[in-house]
Structure formats: C-alpha cells, structure tokens
C-alpha cells in the first residue's frame, strides 16, 4: 500500500473546527501519515489566532509535521493532495442574521435549513467556485477537495452545474454524529454499524442499521420513541453537546413516534416541526449567539492560555466525529480503500423519482478516482414528496444565483416548507437582500 505522507490544505483555516480536524488527522498518523498541513483563509488575523492552537496540536501530537499558515492560494494549494474546505462566507455575524431575519417573520431561523440556509447558499456559491478554481490551478491533478462548507446541498448542486468534472466531494458529519448516538444506544462502536440511508443533505432517513448482519432498526425505534436519540453519554460528548443539540436529538422522539418506519436525520425537525421550533426559538438569541459564546469563545480562551503560559488546553476545542470523518474519507481516497461512507453525489437514478442531477446523500464506496454509488431504489410517496419539494426549493435558489434572478429567488423561498406563503417569502427575501448586499450577486 502506498503510504506516501500527504499534504493537506485546510481552506477556512480560521474555523472553530480546524484544531479538531488537525488533531483527528494526526491521531490517525500511523495509518494515514501527513507530511504538511497548510491553513488557508482570507481573514489573516482570525487564522493567525487559530494557528496558535493548531501549532500547539501539531507540537504535542506530531512535531515532525510541517505547518504552513497562509492567505495566498498558491502557497496553500501547490502540490496539495487534499483540500479540506470549511469556509463560512460572512462569518457568524451573517449566520446570526440568517437565523434572526426569518424568526422575525415567524419562520424557522437556521444555519442551513429554510430561509437562512437559502441566504447562506446565495453567499457561498461563488466563493466556493473560486476556491475550486484555485485548487485546480495549483494542486496536484489527483487532488480532491472534501467539502464541509455549508449549506452543503446548495453548494453541491451549484458545483455540479458549474464545475461538473472537478474533484470535489461534499460531505456532512451529521449522519456520522447520529451513528455515534445510535451506536451508544446499541452499546457498540460506531464503526461496527452498516447503514442504508437516502435523502438530500440535512434531509434524509436511515432505512437500515445493521450490526454484524443483524437489523437494529426495531430496537432503535423503540429506544428513540421513548428517549429520543440520546443516552447518558451524549450529554458529555464534546461534539453536539450544547443544550440546543441535546434538544435536537430529543426531538427525534416525536418524529419517530409519528413516522416510525425510518430513522430521521435530526435536521428534519426544522421541516416537520417548524411551528414547534419557532415557538421555542428566541429571536434575540439564536444558535449563532450560543456558538459565539460557547465553541468560539472557548477556542479563543484556549489560544490566550497557550499564548500566556503554554498550558494544557485539551478539551477546550472541538474534537470528535467531525475530524474523524473527514480523515476517514480522505484515507479511503488516498489508498483507494473503497470504504462505504455517506456522501453527497449526483443521483443518476439512485433515488427513483428524483432527477439525475439531484445531489443526493447516499451510501457509496469511496475510491481514489471515483465514488462508486450503491443502489437505493424507490422511496415511499411521503418521503419522495418531501424530497422533491426541498430539492426544487434549493434548485430555484441555485438558478437565482446563476441567472441573477429575483423571481427565481422568490420561488426558492416560497417553495421552502418552512415558509407559509409567497407574501412571507417575499418579505424575508427582501430583508435578506438588504442584509446580504456585500455578499449576494445582484438579483433583477
Ligand atoms: P468559522 O466562521 O469559525 O470559520 C470559517 C472560516 O472560513 C473563517 O475563518 C473565515 O474567515 C473563512 N472564510 C470565509 N470565506 C472564505 C473564503 N472564501 N476562503 C477562505 N476562507 C474563508 O465557521 P465554523 O463554524 O467553524 O464553520 C466552518 C464551515 O464548516 C461552515 O460552513 C459550517 O457550516 C461548516 N460545517 C459543516 C459541517 C458539515 O457537516 N458539513 C460540520 C461543521 C461545520
Ligand atoms: C452539524 C452539521 C453541520 C453543521 C453543524 C452546525 O454537525 O452536520 O453541517 O454546520 O452541525 O453546528 P453548530 O454547532 O455550528 O450549530
Ligand atoms: Mn452537515
């Protein structure tokens, strides 16, 4: 097996997730050796700060690994084997508006779902294309971009239309985080689960969860209907452990009580329980505030601590499935392992009733030059109806971005299940246009 050490560039180097990803990568160093990690960001000050923590992680985990910090795409991507993308266009300041503007109109306010997700999508499409072009210009021909940048569904659709041949694989850690919780319920390691799943990103269902060939859906259904997707362990978990995440996992309880056949992605709460979510949201204090006062603040505290004393800061930054998953997918590509992972790929007949160019989240075998899809097949009417509505909302948004069309944007907002009418859609869209002047393409 070719074990040449990898050069990995992280775009969005100033992210709150960077240190956790680097730690997860370096912890796998024996099976997946890394020669160099490069952090790339547009925001030099933020990245330089985060780099203090990343440098600490490298020094304490794998001091032989070279760390490069840059705002130059050429320096970041030249000769790279992988680009891990995790950019947030507009930072938390814009996330806050994505969440608060819809809430002011009585609609779900969320990072990737509903009006907020559409607005975030409109900001992110063109910066992602630029990033891909820079990767293609400088990196190895064999380089893959593994993209975590949200909203992953919209990003995936736009990239598939504008750069269909680019080596970009869009991924999401939510199914893996759910698998972690399911494996805790079952008392097994999450790597022992063999799952079947279909849907769009942040919009799908597990149809099978097997351990050693045995179907565990009945046991999981019974547990979730009683407790939600939770055991005692989750409360102590570093990833997804804030009160709002615990509530999210708990909300799978009513969902599985109402629709017992499959196990839902947690994000379906925003579409199927929108009224409940809005009722329990505070338009003055949303998840963006919780993150800024939680994960981001803790990270900055750890950085200050390192600067002051070089003290021990483990536990003060985000580690867990998020970093493990992107490292696992990269390893599957690097060594052509063709491991089975849930990834976001063109439908091409996988889910009957969705167009070929829908970007669907499904299990596939991930290899060096190719992702090998596994068959999904027919899905019942209820699920297909939900998928089609969400897909077309997102497709209208991408149309709007590419054509600079106000009308298509209004159609995207109107089609979204979290928005009750065209009138409300228009009010939210018009406020979003104002708030996003600096970021959105002009809509006419
Ligand atoms: P963050 O704001 O802490 O970090 C994002 C960084 O990206 C910032 O430092 C910012 O300056 C930088 N950036 C913005 N535009 C850029 C560009 N064009 N080029 C290079 N850098 C750029 O955000 P975060 O909360 O750590 O999240 C980072 C991203 O990862 C978000 O898009 C988030 O939604 C996504 N995410 C996805 C998953 C998933 O499962 N798909 C999981 C976690 C986070
Ligand atoms: C999950 C999702 C990501 C999302 C993240 C948000 O991990 O899969 O796509 O970005 O949650 O988490 P946050 O803690 O920033 O609200
Ligand atoms: Mn995700």
Give the chain's count of helices (H) and strands (E): 18, 13
Handedness of CA 282, 237, 180, 349 (dihedral sign): positive
Measured from the Cα of 148, ligand 2's closest atom is 9
What would the two tokens of residue 99 be?
A: 């969440």
Q: Of 24, 88, 98, 172, which is best to mutate to test ligand 2, by the most ligand atoms within 8 angstroms of its C-beta?
A: 172
What's the pLDDT at 222? Answer: 97
Residues 403 and 44: their CA atoms lie apart, in Å, by 32
Helix (H) or strand (E) holding 161: helix 152-162
Q: What is the pLDDT of residues 382-400, one digit of tens each?
A: 999 999 999 999 999 999 9
pLDDT confidence tier of residue 313, bands split at 50, 70 and 90: confident
Residue 378: how many other CB atoms lie within 10 Å: 10
Q: What is the pLDDT of residues 111-137, one digit of tens each?
A: 999 999 999 999 999 999 999 999 999
Q: What is the pLDDT of residues 134-166, one digit of tens each?
A: 999 999 999 999 999 999 999 999 999 999 999
| Residue showing tokens 């970093």 | 323
Q: What is the secondary structure of 398-436 as a DSSP string?
A: HHHHHHT-HHHHHHHHHHSTT---HHHHHHHHHHHHHHT
Does the pLDDT value for residue 1 go beyond 60? Answer: no
Average pLDDT in the chain: 96
267 catalytically annotated: yes
Q: What is the mean pLDDT of residues 49-73?
A: 97
56 catalytically annotated: no
Residues 359 and 363: their CA atoms lie apart, in Å, by 13
Q: What is the pLDDT of residues 71-91, one digit of tens each?
A: 999 999 999 999 999 999 999
pLDDT confidence tier of residue 13, bands split at 50, 70 and 90: very high
What's the pLDDT at 310? Answer: 64
What's the pLDDT at 22? Answer: 98
Nearest Cα to 203, choosing from 344, 329, 352? 344
- Ligand 1 neighbours (beta carbon < 6 A): 11-12, 14-17, 41-43, 46-47, 86-89, 91-92, 127, 131, 148-150, 152, 172-174, 322
What's the pLDDT at 197? Answer: 98
What's the pLDDT at 289? Answer: 98
Closest-lying ligand to the alpha carbon of 170? 1
Q: Closest residue (by CA) to atom 11 of ligand 2? A: 174
What's the pLDDT at 112? Answer: 98
Q: What is the pLDDT of residues 245-260, one digit of tens each?
A: 999 999 999 999 999 9
- Among residues 17, 56, 120, 267, the one annotated as catalytic is 267
Does the pLDDT value for residue 53 go beyond 80? Answer: yes
Does the pLDDT value for residue 238 go beyond 70? Answer: no
Q: What is the mean pLDDT of residues 8-25?
A: 98
Residues 111 and 149: their CA atoms lie apart, in Å, by 11
In angstroms, the Cα distances linking 63 to 34, 35, 68, 299 are: 11, 10, 13, 21
Measured from the Cα of 177, ligand 2's closest atom is 7
């Amino acid at each position: 097996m070719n074990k040449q050490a990898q050069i990995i560039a992280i775009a969005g180097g100033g992210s709150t997730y960077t240190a956790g990803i680097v730690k997860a990568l370096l912890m796998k160093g024996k099976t997946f050796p890394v020669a160099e990690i490069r952090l790339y960001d547009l925001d030099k000050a933020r990245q330089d700060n985060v780099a203090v923590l990343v440098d600490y992680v490298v020094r304490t985990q794998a001091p032989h690994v070279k760390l490069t910090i840059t705002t130059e795409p050429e320096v970041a991507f030249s000769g790279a084997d992988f680009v891990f993308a995790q950019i947030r266009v507009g930072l938390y300041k814009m996330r806050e508006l994505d969440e608060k503007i819809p809430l002011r109109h009585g609609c779900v306010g969320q990072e990737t779902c509903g009006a907020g997700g559409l607005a975030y999508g409109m900001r992110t499409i063109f910066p992602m294309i630029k990033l891909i072009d820079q990767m293609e210009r400088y990196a190895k021909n064999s380089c893959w971009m593994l993209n975590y940048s949200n909203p992953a569904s919209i990003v995936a659709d736009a990239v598939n239309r504008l750069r269909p041949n680019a080596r970009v694989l869009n991924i999401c850690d939510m199914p893996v985080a759910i698998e972690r919780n399911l494996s805790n319920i079952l008392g097994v390691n999450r790597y022992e689960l063999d799952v079947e799943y279909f849907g769009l990103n942040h919009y799908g269902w597990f149809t099978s969860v097997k351990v050693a060939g045995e179907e565990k859906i009945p046991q999981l259904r019974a547990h979730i209907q009683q407790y939600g997707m939770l055991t005692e362990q989750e409360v102590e978990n570093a990833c997804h452990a804030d009160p709002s995440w615990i509530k999210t996992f708990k909300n799978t309880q009513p969902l599985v009580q109402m629709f017992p056949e499959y196990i839902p992605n947690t994000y379906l709460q925003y579409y199927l329980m929108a009224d409940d979510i809005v009722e329990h949201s505070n338009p003055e204090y949303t998840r963006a505030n919780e993150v800024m006062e939680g994960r981001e603040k803790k990270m900055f505290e750890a950085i200050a601590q390192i600067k002051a004393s070089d003290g021990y800061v483990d536990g003060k930054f985000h580690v867990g499935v998020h970093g493990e998953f992107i490292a696992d997918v990269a390893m599957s590509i690097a060594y052509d392992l063709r491991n089975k992972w849930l990834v976001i790929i063109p439908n091409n007949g996988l889910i009957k009733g969705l167009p070929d160019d829908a970007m669907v989240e499904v299990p596939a075998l991930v290899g060096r030059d190719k992702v090998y899809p596994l068959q999904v097949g027919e899905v019942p009417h209820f699920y297909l109806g939900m998928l089609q509505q969400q897909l077309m909302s997102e497709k209208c948004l991408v149309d709007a971005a590419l054509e600079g069309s106000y009308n298509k944007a209004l159609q995207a907002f109107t089609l979204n299940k979290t928005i009750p009418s065209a009138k409300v859609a228009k009010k939210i869209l018009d406020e979003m246009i104002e708030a996003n002047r600096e970021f959105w393409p002009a809509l006419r």
